Amino acid sequence: MKLYYSPGACSLSPHIALREAGLPFELVLASTKTKQLADGTDFLTINSKGSVPVLELDNGERLTEGPAIVQYIADQAPDKQLAPANGSWQRYRLQEWLNFITSELHKGFSPLFNPATPDEARTQSRAKLGERLAWVNAQLAGKQFLLGEQFSVADAYLFTVTNWGQYVGVDVSGLAHLVALRARVAARPAVQAAMKAEGLLG
């Protein structure tokens, strides 16, 4: 398998999932700015949406969109329990979290990374993200992870997205349960390995 990624982008989430699952894979750096790979290949020929992540299987099939990719990865290594069993109530809970993270948090950060976003819109985006993150924090009371005691691919996605706060002025330091979850995820060997591979840790 190949994972097309950009350092620190949302592709960090499936990168973590691949390492947690113990699956063999190759990392391929894709610039989301120039839309080119290191060898000069036009990234738009890999994903016409021009975004990471892309998971390419050995048979040439490609899957895009992080929430779909991480569930595929989890299902390739069921013994690692990165996602509840397909068809179970807990699997739908996982999908509920993945959808919330992608639509309410991930997309909420997008205007803050766009230099053209007016200051007033930035202020509104930060305020809305603050409300949503406070809600997540409340859901984490009494839990180790989003689904309870078991780490899942949703935790890797939440960790990835909340990492961006430090770069765009979204402070989560007052959200104790979220801070604690982030620390638990950051300490995992697979997470450390993924971040080192992307140049995010020394």
Per-residue pLDDT reduced to its tens digit, 119-144: 999 999 999 999 999 999 999 999 99
Give me the pLDDT at residue 79, please: 98
Nearest by Cα to 123 from 168, 159, 160 = 168
Per-residue pLDDT reduced to its tens digit, 86-126: 999 999 999 999 999 999 999 999 999 999 999 999 999 99
* Domains observed in the chain: 2-80+190-197 (3.40.30.10), 89-188 (1.20.1050.10)
Rounded to whole angstroms, how far apart are CA atoms 1 and 80? 18
Rounded to whole angstroms, how far apart are CA atoms 152 and 116? 35
What ranges in 31-175 are assigned the alpha helix state H?
A: 66-76, 89-100, 107-113, 119-139, 153-163, 165-168
Q: Is the whole-model pTM more than 0.75?
A: yes
Q: What is the mean predicted confidence (pLDDT) over 62-86?
A: 98
Query: What 3-state DSSP class applies to 148?
Result: strand
Contact 100, 87 (CB under 8 A): no
Q: What is the mean predicted confidence (pLDDT) over 67-72?
A: 98
Tokens standing for 27? 């990392």
